[in-house]
Amino acid sequence: MNLILMRPIPVSSLTQQGKIMLLTLLTALFLSAAQANDPAPPTVHDVPAAETLKPEVFDRLTEFAPPAPRHAEAVNADWPRFLGPTDNCISPETHLLSSFPEGGLEKVWELEKGTGYTSPVIVDGKLVFFDRIEDEEIVDCLDPETGRRFWTYSYPVQYSDRYGFNNGPRASAVLSKGKVYTLGVTSILTCLDLASGSLIWQRVLDEEFDLADFFFGHGSCPLIFDGKVIVPMGTNLEEKGISVAAFDEDTGELLWTTEHEWNASYASPIIAELQGEPRLLVFQGGESDPAFGGLLAINPQTGELLDAFPWRPDKYESVNSSTPVPVGDNQVFLTASYQHGAVLLKFNESLKWEPVWKAPEFGMHWMTPLLLDGQLYGFRGRNEPDAWLASYDVATGTENWREDEEWSIPLESGRDYRMKYLRGSLLHADGKTYALGELGSLGIFKLSQEGVETLDRTQLFLARSTWSLPVLHRGLLYVSQHEADVDGNGPRLICYDLRAVAK
């Protein structure tokens, strides 16, 4: 074998083209090394030949009446991820009800669901819902307008919530390019074929990477971006472990990791355009002692950590749960509960975070705040009694107003029950905002810097833990009821008709 010894060449002596070639080579070597260090590359299964499946009635489905015809001029939009088509609780759909029919919204269908805190996702006439029934996590693919089932997929799971919450998945499914991605409560990452429900690949992340403990199980939704499935992690290492990982969307192979001490929270990662480039934003902060976490800015192509801004309550049993909100001009809004509050950050030209203003009274427990016309709106508060709706001005950080609406509803016993929205959720579409309270109330708001006007309100059901953002698709509203209601109905996924038709 002949050996050729070469004298090192200073980088400063390279031409601009040479520097670019060197950078490209180093990047390729980096990515290759990440793939080589994959502890357990999954088996990739062949997808069967395309077959047209007919949705069928099954035992957990109750059908009511077909929805009203969709207005011919209505704008429709898919809902591929739990915060909607643009990850901000806003839908471009139009021709929706501005007031409720007498007697409340009409049901189209309802599904008796298992445990979990997820919402459905909908693309190309397929609704996918992820929950747990007995000792299996289940992925059901349904017709969005009838609830009838195209296919179902399941696998065994063992998990018991140590704080007494239910034992099902926390992260909704994600749909992308004809595939379904789910992250289960025990960190099982699965990729299915949307058309057939066939398994493409699956990874058991907790076993493969020795993940750190989670207070309530693994709960942040994966992000699909540029061929990658990006998952907040957190591994059991004394110093820096794997905080975030990216896997190939087609094969499940590890592409890159981001090393940091912060563990996965219950907020989901997003992509934002900052300083002219797409940046991966991951709001970390799960179980750790002492409690730590905050916002990571990452290069989504390589996993390179650009900066980390600490923002986490110092209470051990606390989490970060609200997804970051990009607000323009290279700025991002963060909010956390447990008396910690909110902060507006700017991603400066040095690719570092710097605080612009803080709002100690605007801490949200899990809801993602709504940004409209330079104003932020959200139900702040850690617990039911200390929750109210508030608005803040993005430019100044000043509070515009706060509102804690209260009303009564009659019960069959003859007594009135005092109601509030408490820690609700906000969904904006068709020039109005739909507010889902955590006890099953649904209101229609007109929000502005001057205040909130309630256009109408109805009681869908009376049940606790209505914590998932409702889903909107083709004028139908999908609401996850996570606990039994006062009428004895168990947990359900309910489809309501929200369509406004031409008179």
Q: What is the mean pLDDT of each run of 10 residues along the chain (503 residues)?
A: 37 50 44 62 92 95 97 97 96 98 97 98 98 98 98 96 92 98 98 97 96 93 98 85 97 97 96 98 94 97 98 93 96 96 98 98 96 98 90 98 95 88 97 98 98 98 97 98 96 98 75
CB 411 within 8 A of CB 419: no
DSSP state of 9: -
Strand 375-380 relative to strand 370-372, pairing? antiparallel
CB 467 within 8 A of CB 423: yes
Amino acid 1: pLDDT:
33
Output phi, psi for 12, to 5 deg: -65, -20
Amino acid 503: pLDDT:
66
Q: How far apart are CA 195 and CA 271, in angstroms?
A: 27
Amino acid 443: pLDDT:
98
Q: Give Cα 190 to chain centroid, integer Å.
A: 17
CA neighbours within 13 Å on the CB side: how many for 502?
Answer: 5
> CB neighbours (10 Å) of residue 316?
11
Output phi, psi for 142, to 5 deg: -120, 160
Q: Which of 453, 468, 481, 418 is nearest to 443 (CA)?
A: 453
Amino acid 335: pLDDT:
98
CB 481 within 8 A of CB 466: yes
Quote the tokens at residue 171. 């992260």
Q: 327 CB contacts (<8 Å, ≥6 apart)?
A: 333, 344, 371, 376, 394
Domains of the chain (ranges, CATH numbers)? 16-497 (2.140.10.10)
DSSP state of 364: B
H-helix or E-strand spanning residue 206: helix 205-209
Amino acid 15: pLDDT:
56
Q: Angle at the Cα of 196 (from 149 to 468), degrees rounded to 5?
A: 55
Q: The whole model's pTM is what?
A: 0.92
